Structure 1
Amino acid sequence: MVELKSPAEVAAMGVTGAFIADLLDDVAARADVGVNLLDLEERARELITERGAQSCYWDYSPSFGRGPFRNVICLSVNDAVLHGLPHDYVLADSDLLSMDIAVAIDGWVADSARSVIVGTPRAEDQRLVAATEEALSAAIDAACPGGRIGDISSAIGAVAAAHGYRVNTEFGGHGLGRTMHEDPHVANVGRAGRGMTLRPGLTLALEPWFTLGSERIKFDADGWTIRSFDGSRGAHSEHTIAVTEGDALILTTNGRG
Structure 2
Amino acid sequence: MIIRKGPAELERIARAGELVAATIAHVGEHLRPGITTGELDDIAGEFIHRHGGTSASKGYRGSTPYHDPYPAEICISPNAMVVHGIPGPYRVAEGDLVTIDVGAVLDGAIADSAYTFGVGAIDPEAQRLLDTAQDALAAGIAEARAGNRIGDISFAIQSVVEGAGFSVIRSLVGHGVGRHYHEDPHVPNFGQPGRGPKLSEGMTIAIEPMITMGAAEVVLHDDQWSISTEDGSLAAHFEHTVAITPAGPRILTIAGDREPSLLQ
| TM-score, length of structure 1 as denominator length | 0.97
Larger mean CA deviation between 118-127 and 232-241 belongs to 118-127
**How do residues 95-244 of structure 1 correspond to structure 2 at under 5 angstroms?**
95-244=96-245
Structure-2 change in CA distance of 1:214 and 1:222 (3 Å) = same
Contact kept in structure 1, 2:23 and 2:102, CA below 8 Å? no
Larger mean CA deviation between 195-204 and 162-171 belongs to 162-171
Equivalent position amino acid for 1:24 in 2: I
Contact kept in structure 1, 2:19 and 2:104, CA below 8 Å? no
Larger mean CA deviation between 150-159 and 63-72 belongs to 63-72
Structure 2 partner of 1:51:
51
Unaligned runs of 5+ in 2: 258-262
| TM-score, length of structure 2 as denominator length | 0.94
Structure 1 partner of 2:39:
39
Larger mean CA deviation between 61-70 and 187-196 belongs to 61-70
Equivalent position amino acid for 2:173 in 1: G
Structure-2 change in CA distance of 1:19 and 1:65 (3 Å) = farther
Q: Deviations over 1:189-247 (max 9, x none)?
A: 01000111110101000000101001000122222111100000101000000001122
Measure, in 2, the Cα distance between the counterparts of 1:217 and 1:193: 28
Contact kept in structure 1, 2:139 and 2:156, CA below 8 Å? yes
Q: CA deviation at 1:65?
A: 7.7
Equivalent position SS for 2:248: coil
Q: What is the identity percentage for the equivalent residue pairs of Structure 1 and Structure 2? A: 39
Unaligned runs of 5+ in 1: none
Structure 1 partner of 2:260:
none
Measure, in 2, the Cα distance between the counterparts of 1:155 and 1:181: 22
Aligned residues: 257
**Alignment RMSD:** 1.4
Contact kept in structure 2, 1:145 and 1:246, CA below 8 Å? no
Q: CA deviation at 1:64?
A: 8.1
Measure, in 1, the Cα distance between the counterparts of 2:165 and 2:89: 34
Contact kept in structure 2, 1:65 and 1:224, CA below 8 Å? no
Q: CA deviation at 1:161?
A: 1.3
Equivalent position amino acid for 1:56 in 2: A
Equivalent position SS for 1:224: coil
Measure, in 1, the Cα distance between the counterparts of 2:3 and 2:94: 44
Q: CA deviation at 1:185?
A: 0.2
Equivalent position SS for 1:243: strand
Measure, in 2, the Cα distance between the counterparts of 1:100 and 1:7: 26
Contact kept in structure 2, 1:206 and 1:241, CA below 8 Å? yes
Measure, in 2, the Cα distance between the counterparts of 1:65 and 1:239: 29
Equivalent position SS for 2:13: helix
**How do residues 18-37 of structure 1 correspond to structure 2 at under 5 angstroms?**
18-37=18-37
Measure, in 1, the Cα distance between the counterparts of 2:168 and 2:140: 15
Q: Does 1:67 pair with 2:68? A: yes
Larger mean CA deviation between 50-59 and 186-195 belongs to 50-59
Structure 1 partner of 2:6:
6
